[in-house]
Structure 1
Amino acid sequence: MKHLLKDSYSWLRRKLDPRRSTGASSRVHNEVNSAQDDLISIIVPTYNVEKYLERCLNGIFNQTYRNLEIIVADDGSTDTTLDLAHRLARSDHRVKVLELHHAGNGSARNSAIAVANGRFLAFADADDSMPTDAYEKLWKTLRTTGSQFVVGCFAHVDTSNMWRPKFADDVHRSTHHSIQLGDCPSIMQNIFLWDKMFRRDFWDRCVAPIPARTLYEDQEAVMRAFFGAENFDVIPDTVYFWHSRPDQTSITQQKGDVTDLANRLEVALTVTKLASARASETVWQAWLTKLFQWDLSPYFKQIPKSSEEYWNALVTGIRRVVDFVGNQIWDTVQLHDRLLLSAICESNRHDAETIVIDREENGTDYHVSYDFGSYIGIPGYLLRLSDRPAASLLEIRKIDLDLVSQVDEIHWSRAGLLEITGFAFIRNFDTANFPQNLTFSLRDANSDQVIELSHRSIASPDIDQIAGDAWNCYARSGFSLAIDVSAIDRLDQEATPKPRWRLHVTVTCGDKCTEGLMRSRHPETAGGAIPLDDCIGTHRLVCQFSKDDGLFLERVRYAHIATAVDMYDQFFRLTVRHPTGNPPAGVLVGADEIAVTDSIQLTPNECIVTVRFPSVHLGTGRSESKSTLKLITSDGRTHLIAWAHSSQKLVEESPLHRPSRLSATGYGYLQLMRAGARGIVTSATLATDEDALIVRGETSVDDAESDPTFSLITSRRKLHASSTAVEQDGRFTARFELTEDKWQLGVAVVDSGAYVFQISGGEVPFTVIPDFAKELPLTTLRPRYRLTITRKQPNDALVVKIGAPLADYERSALGRRRIREIFQTATDETELSDSILFESFGGTAATDSVRALFDEYVRSGDQRTKYWVVRDYSVITPPGCVPIIYNSAAYVRALSGCSTLVNNNTFPHYFRKSPGQRYVQTWHGTPLKQIGFDTPLTQISNSYLDILTRESTYWDLLIAQSPVAADLLRQAFGYTGAIAARGLPRNDSFFGSHADSIRRDTRHSLGVYDDQQMVLYMPTWRDHAIDPYGRHDFVSTIDFEALRRAVGAQYAFFARGHHTTIESVRHDVLDVTDLTTYPDVSRLLLAADILISDYSSVMFDFAITGKPLIQYIPDFDDYVTTSRSLYETSMKSIVWPKAYSQSDLERLVLRSTGMRPFEMYSPERSPLFHRSNFEPTSRSVLERFSV
């Protein structure tokens, strides 16, 4: 046996010899390169793309597939694109440049194809890019399958994010080889040339030429390819990056242009005729659905803000397509689109606009009724349409039946049953009105075998929270399954090939029925590794999820099975059953197969292996590593090691809180998990009479010099434990305060969010133990917050959700709609209360001129009830007010019933002013960037446009800083009512008797020394800077580290983002103190010595103080071309210094120290200021309003 081990270890050493590995790697690399004998021609048309071409060509130059012919076809560019193309061509001999007269993309591509020599063709747009292995992946696929072309996936890229399109989850879920269009009609959603590769002979025979002198020319060409191909491939890999131009100048960003519309409709008709002639019935139906619900949807969204010319072109073009298709069109599009198409065909613009805006504001759900033997859809806007739609358009059709299903929990019972809970329903069919019948089965993906399942119906109000449907209740759609796997096991033993049992659900309501796989699972309770049950001899049934199959069961057979594990500090011991005749020789760890065996004891069918932890620290710092365990046998082969028992048993044998522990994959194979810090959470509870959370658990830190500390973390905030107690055995108790006096301005609840519990400075969240996990989620509603304790996959990490104290009915879309319905129907008869509603920035702060007017009301002795709107109780409100939560029932009642409204922004889209109400609009500053109706239409939603149109007629008084500013606001909002144009109330604090003490106290609370210069950076938001959640992202153009080095420690830097970025500012990104959530900006302006801003109106406020002010605009040219233009009047009124570079900024900051007040801010020098700006104005505003 020793000899056997010695030989095996010699083999291991040879296998792991780095010189051997390098040589092998080199040979493989050379083999791949030598196999690249197929020339691929890459076609790159160009037209005025000097900003982007180099990025695109560098992406092609750096491809791992080297045998390329790169043809740049310049379509008569009038900028420096052609010169740049020639310069880049000189750096790479594979580039050819064609100089063409301007004739469009299609013509340029055809000219390039005519001179191309490649066996394969691929395309790239000059303003895009691609992964370095894109063409190699596409080429390898075609070489392997012999198909005529291959379709890869693409990702959208903008200035701050990258994402794959929604349809990719379906179309590019997995690999499909040698298919035809009828096998996957949804692939027509990917109708672009640039993420595909074609065989040249197929292209010439079935696709060429590309239509010339039209936009969207690639769509007809790609559809010819789909129809003409005997076979093509679809791969899930992302092979192309589609960039959105910040300046909105690319062809695909011109949806509001009438020429673009005309071209798109012409292509739509051409391809529809092609599909009619060549498509099967299934493909034909899929094409029509795609055309009207996907392709033309961006154009329909332009209707409310389009010109008459655009509307008329849309009506004409849609009529042509609908007339060609005939009545079958109505079976291929869903209800909202049927009504919209009908309105367009009838040239009823009012109804088309109503439908588009309502969908944007309220979503696509609707109520269903049963009338005269038919199910009828009743959208919320139906009664607001000028023409009653034909009854046939409202009838529910097959395409309207949307199956919604989710698995919420999966676990094994003690009796060996697989228990699954979840819900399933047909969307828009209220389960309270229409009981829906659920049937479940397991269906083998490889045969026609079906196992019918029984289930138990359950009800849960939580389903409505998840569904997000404002019209229907689905609380009765829950189910519970208990699957006896023994019957499946018996079938599996006889089956060839191995069955894959997919969970299938059918939902029936009357004569309506839909079905599908259970593809979705709850991200918190079912999103991670699915637990294992005990093996049955040498195999087990595992439950898994995949993109293709959803939830499925599969039988896995094992050769090497660990029946026991013993964990120690430096090693662990495995007892492994193995087949006879090929005894084990040791254990390997990780992808590098590191030998870690200390000793091995053999019996004929079992071995006991002692395994030392690898000397290489697999977990760097406090992150976690995961390494597969393999058994090496005497023949030199390696084998995965399965775990014989349940997941729970493995947790008992290898505790979760150990830095090194064993876990099992979803298929039951062992892996070594290592981390510098790890722990478990055994409980998390609210303190009985205090606003504090107590977390208990166990931890093990292998590299700590002192006791660990703990944090609750979101992307925006990090809450440190107020106290921590750690016992010698690793048990800990951590206390977190849920209220704080963050700014020394009053105690408030901590910021809302989903906080993950983890060790401070660590990356590994602590795992909730299974017994505690079974109790989750736990929700507590307290007067000032709602707290939910839950867990997060994939690690079962503890998550603490803190939010506004809304009741369940106020949190669901259904409940909120019912509340609004009461409000809207009662408006005409509402009896107003003698009270005032104050709202600032949508409830995110109690600040701005709204706060100044509130303070003046209080000073004047006004006795009316004063409501202040807050998003949650993290917002500090002034004494004397009654806080109410935004969108709560109390808010809706106050919004309709208060006699006076004061706001600095717009109210929600559902607001309608009650008779007798008076409304003061303070706005929030003097505009520099274009706002309101002056905003480029591409930057404004239909809903906001509708709100502005309506709300400006509600205002009884608008406040402006000066007569010039008043003119700008009138223009921006189309406002014709009264204006108070003698200053902004929010600046009153600059002139009050307490200004000096406010400045001193604020600086002290922020840690600014008396001899320091406080520099405040307040940039505005950027239209195109959007975070992954669709929120405006904070954008900083300052290198603060370099600025600190340049100016020295006597400067203290702070940053405050625009109120629209309050949800996206991240604590781990800013390298200065973030003051975005600071309650009162006026206090900051008093405290600051220098203000740096860009296009924000705050500059016109700070200028009044006479302190140094710098406009830092390094992105000026891009901003005015890619975001929005600036008001010329405002820009000309800026008389303070401008910095266009970092070095300019550093120089101006240094020069600002000790400067005398800026006399140039006087009204004589700048028309945007008025003499009254330099004195308090709140009282005069209220006097004006009371008249």
Structure 2
Amino acid sequence: MAPRLSVIVPIYDVERYLPACLDSLAAQTFRDFEVLMVDDGSPDGSAAIAEEYASRDPRFKLIRKENGGLGAARNTGMTHLAPESEFLTFVDSDDLIPPDAYRLMVGSLDESDSDFATGNVYHLKGEKSWQVPLMRMLAGEARLGTHISRYAKLVADRIACNKVFRRTFWEKHGFAFPEGRLYEDTPVTMRAHYLAESVDVISEPCYYWRLREGESAPSITQRRTDPAGVRDRVTSVMEISAFLAEQPGETYARLKREYDTRVLRDDLRLFLNVVPDGDEEYRAEFLRSANRFLDSIDPKVVMDLPAELRVQWLLVRKHQMEELIALLAGQRRKETPEVSGLVRKYASFPSLEGADLHLPKGALRIDQHLNMRAPLQEVSWSGGKLVLSGNAWIDKIDLPTRKASVKVLQLRKDRSRRRILLPARNLSRPEVTTDSGQDRYNYEWAGWEVTIDPARLRKGGEWQEAVWHVGLGIFASGLVRRHAVHSSGGAACNFPPYHWLSPDFRMLPAVERGALKLRIEKVRALITGRTLEGDRIKVTGEIREPLATDEQVVLRVKNQKGAETLDYPVTVERTGGRQTFSVEVPVADVALIFHEGVDEKAQPEKRTWSTVLVATDAHGKERRFGTVMQEGLSDAEFALPTSLGTQSHLVELAVVAGHTGFLKFSGRTRRAVIDSAAVRDGGIVLTGHADPRLSGSRFLLKPRNRYEERFVETRWLDGGRFEVSFDPSRLGGAGDVPLRAGRWNLFLRPDEEGVPDVAFVTDRLASDSFPVQAEFGDRRYWLENRWGDFPQLNARSELSDLERGPYRQKELRRTVYEPLFQQPLKDQVFYLSYNGKQFSDSPRAMYEELVRRGSDLKHLWAVRDGQVNLPDGLEKVRMWGKEWYEALASSRYIVTNGHLPDWIVRRPGQSIVQTWHGTMLKKIGHDIDTLHFDRRYQEKLALEAKQWSLLVSSNRFSTPILKRAFSYDGEIQEAGYPRNDYLYSADRDAITARVKKTLGLPEGKKVVLYAPTWRDDQSHSAGQYLFDLRIDLEDAQRRLGDDHVLLIRRHSNVVDAVPGAGNGFVWDASEYPDIVDLYIAADIMITDYSSVMFDYAHLKRPMLFFTYDLEHYRDTLRGFYFDFEQDSPGPLIDNSKELVDAIRDIDRVQEKYQERFDRFHHLFCDLDDGNASARVLDRMIEQAREG
């Protein structure tokens, strides 16, 4: 069969990812395509992989060429298109295409005749996939026949690979990719958007854009501070800007202004934001290239930008690099400009104080950009009346009191002059300030509430169909702003409940494209039943509008994100004045089919079909009737027949109505359904049902943004019914501590190995019981219904709304910390271990030494988020709570192994002891040449270190390093590490037995502890680091499992799961309270560059070093303080096989490295003898007495 679609895949250095990419193409449900694989002179084995695909599937063709870059490879592919091909697309060879992508896009083009289709894009990284934020405008519902001039947000849709182009359109305009430069997509895709007659937007994910991680280098577009990158990006955007300037007419003049604005707010802003990170060459190229673009645009485009961004580009214009870096640094600190002026408001930036800017006053004017925010918070019904509640404020305008603003709600009838004004009641909402992420402005009285009597919307006392737009006006500080009441995301208010006004009319509050509207609609069709009959879903109901004898009725089913439309004939029966109907929909038509052999992360989890009844008369005139579900009719879930594939047991077809009440079909991965949620008997109680094949599954909670699992006992009843009861304040950590603050998702874990977890949904009849709010153990918990039917547990912070966030923290510092300087110090010790994460390390050792001495000092311990169990005698201090500020200000002694705030001031008579948390192999502090984390780290460290009164050195080798790395000129005590006193304990055998019992380790097996450090450049997000396990666990278990167990201790900064944990060989010991116990229990230590090597050396047991990324870590990330390769106390091993070999032959390995181990022990264990805590305490107390 001749191909209709040509897929061009340039290939270069992607052998790790290429098979998955090509597999995803081979699995396309649209079959009439060819894949043109262009080997761009790849230096690895990629071409051989492509050749193998070409040999077994005639649709795959390999084209070879010399290396010329991505643009040249794509252009080469264009010269090899099959003559019959109607459409063309491009795929980067490390990315994935979901199975239905090309079927949806080609099908859409066949229906619409548009010039190209563009599909939604998700990022793919590790085990996770998510919406690309900058391409969120492609989400929502599909749009056929749109255009960038009508949907301006498409200006951000500038990549090529998510599009299918009509070949005639491509050839008509002679598109070709630029060669020999980066960012080659923009000149093609943007021209295509402007030149197209129409474009289809497919909202279902059609492209998975991989973000590389681990050993592979970042892809081209992940590198930002490359001078060539900014030069090429500017060249690309200037081509489009010039193209638009050449086009006649006011429409194109407007489009050019919009595009130039987008470039400054988006394309080039990416390069602007990293100016502080770039070297001199990058900064010089940025100024040259950015000013080339600024020379070509209307200066008014810059002046119309928001004030902070406007000033940044004006500094670029003036080549004031020092001031630009200062302003960008302030932006990273979330520094908020100060606003002054009565009517005309002007901004001043603290980071530019004293700078010689030479800017006109108008450049700092900000009132035009002080925007109003009016997010909806709650929509509910009470006594037949609609209650709306939300927040409203103007950016950077204080609302500290009830009378600081006046708010009025307006209801405006669509296509009418009729308006209703309702005064809004002001409410205190301290969380608005807390959640605003800034520290200067107080929005406490942003809250509002209005009650609406629907009767006021009638006309002549009768209900009429209408749409009412809901807006809010606010007057504050001399400014008046108006804005639609809006909502977005998964919040419950974005899915408001409807209300029956009469037997025939209902009011449907609806959020459409972000704005709240009130719809009054007549119900013309009612769904009364839905059953599975064989391989079809039978839907029954009644049509309330009289039908003409010549009208034929169909049920029209539409894929909301993919633009597919299917019609099914409806049988209508007229009896006793009623018109009842029935219709059958084949399950296979609307089910979600899972495709075997395709990466599960690149397959959708849900496909939703909306429905409407369409009556068509003999002349083709249509009438449409919404399909409203009868009250009391629950959602229904049906298992798929095995005839729909080997993966059919993993998916289901649901018939749902959701918050709107309209009938929908939802093909989705199978779900467990909650039909009741309540608080009783000291816990949250959930009941519901699931596929009976899931009986015996375990209920678990998993946090949204990190790895953690908390299982709860599940009671299973007949027919797949279940009941779960849990107290979230006793589910966290290794003991009875609360769940960590944040959002937790609910799942069932099937017994069957390899079967994915099953997510929960809420039945429509249970929605009224949400949110479920409860308090357990002084913590607040909300079980919320998000995204319409997705239950999620929100474990609230133990800090109150008056303690959280930058503004409140700044207030606590001013109102609590600073005033206590006038009060005498208290005889108490305040301990901080890993910023409140643990009861461990040197602070613990010093506390226990004071207890042993019988000291009458009061002991306070910092605890973050309630995650630490403390022994009797210690008083808990909530990290960043009011008492935390009190303890920092009033404690005579402060003992910490980590950082303190950079604003702390040591009082006279106060002793601040910094024990630090490890001897250094990798560089720290000011010795780090390239920071991959907090760019202000060294600046803050210099301020903090000035306040230490004593810095503890664990060995003589470390002393000069500590002084230099911390820029510290105070007293250093060479005392050894207090935490290592434990390693000299006389009851180590008893400790070992206790650890094994606590973890449940089998008797008689050697314990191997693997405790690697984290990688600065491998993170999911700030502070959330990857766990890149390179040990071949299958091989290790096969060769070691009979007589060894592997304990894995993730670094506290790492958030991913431990693969294989719980299989009888691998044990996750990451939550064990103190790693020192694990040292004592371990027979062998495996680490990499972690300071655990220096501690474990005291036990004189064998160590192995798994250093698979040695050169990268040493030369790029951190650097080392000594020649690790020559002086390590054990072998450096770069692959898993040799690591397992070494464990099997550990006696010989230990003997071989004994001499090096002895040198290492002499160098780094020279001060410890079990009495370090005593020495440090003695000096700490002496210092305080000395004043």
Q: TM-score, normalised by structure 1?
A: 0.77
Deviations 1:117-144 (A, max 9, x none): 6654433334434334444444444443
**Unaligned stretches of 5+ residues in structure 2:** 532-537, 560-565, 593-604, 618-623, 638-651, 751-756
Show the counterpart of 1:1129. Answer: 1123
Q: Compute the displacement of 1:1059 (Å).
A: 0.9
Contact 2:844 2:979 in 1 (8 A): yes
Give the aligned length: 1102
Matches within 5 A, 1:852-1001: 852-859=845-852, 865-877=858-870, 880-896=873-889, 898=891, 900-908=893-901, 919-929=912-922, 931-932=924-925, 937=930, 939-948=932-941, 950-951=943-944, 955=948, 957-965=950-958, 979=972, 983-1001=976-994
Structure 1 residues 281 and 515, CA, compared in 2 at 3 Å: closer, same or farther? farther
Show the counterpart of 1:1056. Answer: 1049
Contact 2:911 2:949 in 1 (8 A): yes
Deviations 1:1084-1123 (A, max 9, x none): 2112223333443223322321234333456668877997
Is it true that 1:221 corresponds to 2:191 in the alignment? no
Q: Compute the displacement of 1:1026 (Å).
A: 4.0
Instruction: Tell me how far apart the structure 1 counterparts of residues 1072 and 156 of structure 2 sit (CA, whole Å).
Output: 46
Question: Alignment partner of 1:788: what SS?
Answer: strand
Q: Compute the displacement of 1:1057 (Å).
A: 1.3
Is it true that 1:257 corresponds to 2:252 in the alignment? no
Show the counterpart of 1:122. Answer: 89
Instruction: Tell me how far apart the structure 1 counterparts of residues 182 and 574 of structure 2 sit (CA, whole Å).
Output: 73
Show the counterpart of 2:1104. Answer: 1110
Is it true that 1:460 corresponds to 2:428 in the alignment? yes
Show the counterpart of 1:301. Answer: 273
Which of residues 838, 844, 857 in structure 1 aligns to 2:837? 844
Matches within 5 A, 1:136-151: 136-151=103-118
Deviations 1:232-268 (A, max 9, x none): 4433243333223334443223222334334444545
Show the counterpart of 1:16. Answer: none
Show the counterpart of 1:1083. Answer: 1077
Which of residues 363, 366, 371 in structure 2 aligns to 1:393? 363
Q: Compute the displacement of 1:952 (Å).
A: 5.0
Q: Compute the displacement of 1:731 (Å).
A: 12
Structure 1 residues 146 and 752, CA, compared in 2 at 3 Å: closer, same or farther? closer
Structure 1 residues 153 and 824, CA, compared in 2 at 3 Å: closer, same or farther? farther
Point out the more displaced range, 758-767 or 130-139: 758-767
Question: Alignment partner of 2:345: what SS?
Answer: strand
**Unaligned stretches of 5+ residues in structure 1:** 1-32, 566-571, 688-692
Instruction: Tell me how far apart the structure 2 counterparts of residues 157 and 979 of structure 1 sit (CA, whole Å).
Output: 48
Deviations 1:1162-1184 (A, max 9, x none): 44257863433565433445567
Contact 1:180 1:231 in 2 (8 A): yes
Q: Compute the displacement of 1:947 (Å).
A: 2.9
Structure 1 residues 86 and 708, CA, compared in 2 at 3 Å: closer, same or farther? closer
Which residue identity lines up with residue 242 of structure 1 in the other structure?
W
Matches within 5 A, 1:111-260: 112-113=77-78, 120-200=87-167, 202-203=169-170, 206=173, 208-246=175-213, 247-260=216-229
Deviations 1:1011-1043 (A, max 9, x none): 343333323334455458972244444465664
Is it true that 1:533 corresponds to 2:499 in the alignment? yes
Instruction: Tell me how far apart the structure 2 counterparts of residues 413 and 540 of structure 1 sit (CA, whole Å).
Output: 15
Question: Alignment partner of 1:170: what SS?
Answer: helix
Is it true that 1:292 corresponds to 2:264 in the alignment? yes
Instruction: Tell me how far apart the structure 2 counterparts of residues 828 and 580 of structure 1 sit (CA, whole Å).
Output: 83
Which residue identity lines up with residue 261 of structure 1 in the other structure?
V
Question: Alignment partner of 1:68: what SS?
Answer: strand
Contact 2:33 2:59 in 1 (8 A): no
Instruction: Tell me how far apart the structure 1 counterparts of residues 541 and 113 of structure 2 sit (CA, whole Å).
Output: 48
Is it true that 1:312 corresponds to 2:305 in the alignment? no
Contact 2:821 2:889 in 1 (8 A): no
Show the counterpart of 2:508. Answer: 542
Q: Compute the displacement of 1:810 (Å).
A: 0.4
Instruction: Tell me how far apart the structure 1 counterparts of residues 1173 and 1132 of structure 2 sit (CA, whole Å).
Output: 32
Instruction: Tell me how far apart the structure 2 counterparts of residues 564 and 311 of structure 1 sit (CA, whole Å).
Output: 65
Contact 1:724 1:735 in 2 (8 A): no
Contact 1:269 1:321 in 2 (8 A): yes
- Structure 1 vs Structure 2 CA RMSD: 5.6
Is it true that 1:1005 corresponds to 2:998 in the alignment? yes
Deviations 1:296-334 (A, max 9, x none): 333333333333333333344444444544541443322
Instruction: Tell me how far apart the structure 2 counterparts of residues 701 and 179 of structure 1 sit (CA, whole Å).
Output: 41
Contact 1:368 1:430 in 2 (8 A): no
Instruction: Tell me how far apart the structure 1 counterparts of residues 547 and 70 of structure 2 sit (CA, whole Å).
Output: 68
Structure 1 residues 57 and 1120, CA, compared in 2 at 3 Å: closer, same or farther? farther
Which residue identity lines up with residue 809 of structure 2 in the other structure?
R
Point out the more displaced range, 702-711 or 857-866: 702-711
Question: Alignment partner of 1:333: what SS?
Answer: coil
Which residue identity lines up with residue 219 of structure 1 in the other structure?
T
Instruction: Tell me how far apart the structure 1 counterparts of residues 694 and 35 of structure 2 sit (CA, whole Å).
Output: 59
Is it true that 1:1099 corresponds to 2:1065 in the alignment? no
Instruction: Tell me how far apart the structure 2 counterparts of residues 694 and 308 of structure 1 sit (CA, whole Å).
Output: 59
Is it true that 1:684 corresponds to 2:679 in the alignment? yes
Structure 1 residues 1029 and 842, CA, compared in 2 at 3 Å: closer, same or farther? same
Q: Compute the displacement of 1:473 (Å).
A: 3.4
Is it true that 1:68 corresponds to 2:68 in the alignment? no
Query: Percent identical across equivalent pairs?
Result: 22
Matches within 5 A, 1:276-291: 276-278=245-247, 280-291=252-263
Is it true that 1:553 corresponds to 2:513 in the alignment? no
Q: Compute the displacement of 1:861 (Å).
A: 6.4
Matches within 5 A, 1:8-87: 37=4, 40=6, 42=8, 44=10, 46=11, 48-49=13-14, 51-53=16-18, 55-60=20-25, 62-63=27-28, 64-68=30-34, 70=36, 72=38, 74=40
Deviations 1:980-1027 (A, max 9, x none): 566433222111334343333333333345534333332333445545
Which residue identity lines up with residue 299 of structure 1 in the other structure?
F
Show the counterpart of 1:23. Answer: none
Point out the more displaced range, 470-479 or 78-87: 78-87
Which residue identity lines up with residue 308 of structure 1 in the other structure?
E
Instruction: Tell me how far apart the structure 1 counterparts of residues 317 and 539 of structure 2 sit (CA, whole Å).
Output: 75
Which of residues 57, 74, 99 in structure 1 aligns to 2:65? 99
Structure 1 residues 192 and 966, CA, compared in 2 at 3 Å: closer, same or farther? farther
Instruction: Tell me how far apart the structure 1 counterparts of residues 946 and 148 of structure 2 sit (CA, whole Å).
Output: 54
Is it true that 1:435 corresponds to 2:405 in the alignment? yes
Instruction: Tell me how far apart the structure 1 counterparts of residues 301 and 625 of structure 2 sit (CA, whole Å).
Output: 55
Is it true that 1:605 corresponds to 2:573 in the alignment? no
Q: Compute the displacement of 1:844 (Å).
A: 0.8
Which residue identity lines up with residue 125 of structure 1 in the other structure?
D
Show the counterpart of 1:471. Answer: 440
Contact 2:326 2:352 in 1 (8 A): no
Question: Alignment partner of 1:1172: what SS?
Answer: coil
Question: Alignment partner of 2:114: what SS?
Answer: coil
Which residue identity lines up with residue 845 of structure 2 in the other structure?
A
Deviations 1:710-749 (A, max 9, x none): 8777576666779999999x998957484589868xx755
Q: Compute the displacement of 1:901 (Å).
A: 4.2
Question: Alignment partner of 1:810: what SS?
Answer: coil
Contact 2:155 2:259 in 1 (8 A): yes
